Amino acid sequence: MDAQKIKTLLIRHEGLKFFPYKCSQGKLTIGIGRNIEDKGITKEEALFMLDTDIEQCEHDLAMLIFPEQFYLFPQNIQLVLVNMRFQLGHKGFKSFKKMIYAFQTADYQEAVVQMKDSKWAGQVPTRAKELILMVEKEIHEKTTLR
């Protein structure tokens, strides 16, 4: 069978939807007729989407939020920032203006204060504590290297 022909035919009949919708049978569907309600996605598909989302978060941080700085941050700081950006989305992350400024000025202590003093920390306390500890580890390493 010609793979491209069946793809073209299915796209024409099913359509290509980038956001979930209800199909004619009332099932939650996405993409090209993928019934995610009954079929879901595979582990490989989930990991592929995760890779794509991580790349998008990293690009956003490196090009728009911390240009010229992001790749100079210690790895733990990069991990914290990508994690938060992933969870909060671009708009939500950008609302952490004081925290962003603290990271831009390498004031990790103030970044921790801003992380702790946020609605986010109360909404996801376990995640917030782990990410805060990662930043505090960088503060400790920074002060012991002096």
- Do residues 25 and 51 share a domain? no
Give the pLDDT band (50/70/90) at residue 145.
low
**Same domain assignment for residues 97 and 31:** no
* Beta bridge partners of residue 17, listed in sequence order: 31
How many structural domains is the chain composed of? Answer: 2
* 55, two tokens: 């790349």
Does one domain contain both 28 and 64? Answer: no
Domain containing 67 equals 43-144
**Is 90 exceeded by the pLDDT of residue 144?**
no
What are the tens digits of pLDDT across the range 119-138? 999 999 999 999 999 999 99
Whether the CB-CB separation of 83 and 131 falls below 8 Å is answered with: yes
3-state percent breakdown (helix, strand, coil) of the chain, nearest 5:
70, 10, 25
Residues 30 and 47 in one domain: no
Task: Look over the chain and give the mean of its residue pLDDT values, rounded to a whole number.
Answer: 96
At residue 140, the pLDDT reads 87
Q: What is the model's pTM?
A: 0.90
pLDDT for the residue 141: 80
Query: Are 63 and 8 in a shared domain?
Result: no
| Per-residue pLDDT reduced to its tens digit, 68-97 | 999 999 999 999 999 999 999 999 999 999
**Do residue 106 and residue 126 come from a single domain?**
yes
Do 31 and 59 sit in the same domain of this protein? no
Whole-number pLDDT of residue 142: 73
Same domain, 8 and 65: no
Chain centre to alpha carbon of residue 60: 10
Residue 146: per-residue pLDDT: 57
If asked whether residues 129 and 71 sit together in one domain, one would say yes
Q: How far is CA 45 from the centre of its chain?
A: 16
Identify whether residues 47 and 25 lie together within a single domain.
no
Q: What is residue 28's three-state secondary structure?
A: strand
CATH number at residue 120: 1.10.530.40
Domain check: are 53 and 90 in the same one?
yes
